[in-house]
Amino acid sequence: MQILLIRHGEPVAARTARPGMIVSGAECERLARGYAGSEIHPESHPPAWLVRRAGKAGIAYSSALRRAVQSAELLGLGGRLTVDPVFDEAPIPYGYLTGLKLPVGVWAALARLLWLLDRSPGFEGISGTRARARRCAAILHDAAAGHGRAVLVAHGCINALIRQSLMDTGWMPVSWYHQGYWAVNALTRSS
């Protein structure tokens, strides 16, 4: 059995905000919402080898966020794709200290820190995201057991938590392709 965890391609919104940009909390919230709903940049294409490898999957999943669904379609998975919000990215808490101006990278670090501390009112914290990742891992395990190979097109943070959950249940990482957009983690397990 094999599972491929693939991160989506580069969203248009990724080119909008740069870590050094100084923005208010309200502007950061607008940027975060824009990223959440962003399409894939027209110049972002999966490598040909990844299209071939993903194409061998018997079943495919993606998060419900537009950038993941579009990435799955670019990989040629549209006809056998199950879209499920359980695979959505770990939330980025925002909407606090709205008048304060800081670099976007600082806002992102503060948001992730609040998330890691489970101090993100109105947003799922790390404990909730870990529990969701365990559910995702169970879905993917069952899919791989039934189809031999399953593919998930989702997001960096949730993919990392799913990967850890799979490894905790006996799955072994066998290959990895960088950490950016179109990143891939492959895991395997005997039936």
State pLDDT tens for residues 162-189: 999 999 999 999 988 877 999 999 999 9
Count of domains forming the chain: 1
Q: How many CB atoms lie within 10 A of CB 119?
A: 12
User: Which of the residue ranges 6-20, 28-42, 52-66 has the most confident prediction, judged by mean pLDDT?
Assistant: 52-66
Q: Is the pLDDT of residue 42 over 90?
A: yes
CB 155 within 8 A of CB 62: no
Mean pLDDT calculated for residue range 35-44: 92
Average the pLDDT over 82-88 and give the result: 98
Look at residue 97 in the predicted model and tell me its pLDDT. Answer: 65
Indicate which CATH number applies to the domain containing 49: 3.40.50
Task: Find where tokens 């490894």 sit.
Answer: 167
Instruction: Report whether pLDDT(58) > 80.
Output: yes
Q: Looking at the predicted structure, is the pLDDT value of residue 124 above 70?
A: yes
Domain, as residue range, for 95: 2-188
pLDDT, mean over the chain: 92
Average pLDDT of span 53-61:
96
Alpha-carbon span 66 to 19, nearest angstrom: 23
